[in-house]
Amino acid sequence: MNKQDFYYDLPKHLIAQQPTAERDGSRLMRLCRNTGVIEHKQFKDIVSLLNPGDCIVINDSKVIPARLLGHSGDAQVEMLLHERLADGRWSVLAKPGRKAREGDVLVFANGRLKARVDELAEDGLRIVTLEHEGDFEPLLEEIGEMPLPHYIHEKNDNDNERYQTVYATNSGSVAAPTAGLHFTEELLAKLEAKGINIARVTLHVGIGTFRPVKEDDITQHHMHSEYCRIEPQTADLINKTKATGGRVIAIGTTSCRTLESRVDDTGKIIAGAGKTDIFIFPGFKFKAIDGLLTNFHLPESTLIMLVSAIAGREAVLAAYEEAVKQEYRFFSYGDAMLIY
């Protein structure tokens, strides 16, 4: 299977540059995974599309202001924090790479934060040791920027709020689990009032979300590993849902990947934490989820491949063609699709 099999034409004006005025004001396409039938809804309709006893699974990871602008010598540099390592160092992306060689010191916020490049790692990453004034997290909140995707060219005053889910609690992502951006506290309360369970998992989204698939043969693509965690009470809730006939709906590809990484052959969710590099593409046998809520994704990306695995490539590409025709809004700040 080739990456070109997942290409579609997208007019640039359909790439959402800012969020809707209200979080739940977006549109929602409902795609039947068995028949390919499409329905056009509003996101608020999700309450009527789910049944009592169903369980939605949200990713509560919080985006950190991981983008830092500074200098190396006389040159301007940009550094994107990727992952905190066990020894207190960080793996980062730095641009331009020629200004972040081993031994170089990158300086941010007039010296309040410095990054010494200790070694060059795979995939263009650098391993750095940070030196900073005071506690790191408050300093990062002050001087860091939200790492918006490259296709968002317009900065918005409310990006720090809107590029974050209302239920984000565990800091560690460098990109938002965007399917969750549509939910409000009120909408979540309506779901619970209807008897729909809400389970939380954590997957810290890494730089892999920005990386294209380079190999023509998608089976040769390697995913970056990301930290994920499922608490025992979450596993129990999901397993109880499945045992009583309810549907498990993953909110976003990150929740889906977390669940499918921690499920046994019988479909039982296993609590625990660790790294996952699971790559889901057509032919994958789902054991954990019955449905997926997700945004519309980039052509030839691992995300559209995952969506194609659950609904079928032809049906997904037909749905995307219809979304273009109906002028849905695409990507992180765009509209949503519900598949079950």
- Report pLDDT for 156: 84
The pLDDT score that the predictor gives to residue 194 is: 98
Query: What local confidence, expressed as pLDDT, does residue 171 receive?
Result: 95
What letters, b where the CB count within 10 A reaches 16 and e where it falls short, cover 33-44?
A: beeeebeeeebb
CB atoms under 10 Å from CB of 110, counted, come to: 8
The separation between CA 114 and the C-alpha centre of its own chain, rounded to angstroms, equals 28
- Judged against a pLDDT cut of 80, whether residue 252 lies above it is answered with yes
Contact 160, 65 (CB under 8 A): yes
What's the whole-number mean pLDDT along residues 198-224? 91
Q: Work out the mean pLDDT of the chain and round it to a whole number.
A: 96
Paired strand residues for 38: 31
Q: What is the pLDDT of residues 146-199, one digit of tens each?
A: 999 999 998 888 899 999 999 999 999 999 999 999 999 999 999 999 999 999
Nearest residue to 336 (alpha-carbon basis) of 3, 12, 9, 16 = 16
Peptide bond before residue 96 is cis, with ω within 30 degrees of 0? yes
Q: Please check the confidence at residue 209 and state whether its pLDDT lies above 80.
A: no
Flag whether pLDDT at 303 surpasses 90. yes
Residue 210 has pLDDT above 80, yes or no: no
Other CB atoms within a 10 A radius of the CB of residue 165 amount to 24
Model-level pTM?
0.94
The answer on pLDDT for 330 being more than 90 is yes
Q: How many CB atoms lie within 10 A of CB 236?
A: 13
pLDDT at 33 over 90: yes
When pLDDT is cut at 50, 70 and 90, the band that residue 87 belongs to is confident
Alpha-carbon distance of 274 to 276, in angstroms, equals: 7
109-118, long-range: CB within 8 Å, 24+ apart, which pairs? 109/70, 109/139, 109/142, 109/143, 112/139, 112/143, 113/68, 113/70, 113/139, 113/143, 115/79, 115/90, 118/89
Q: Which helix (H) or strand (E) holds 120?
A: strand 113-120
Q: How far apart are CA 55 and CA 117, in angstroms?
A: 45
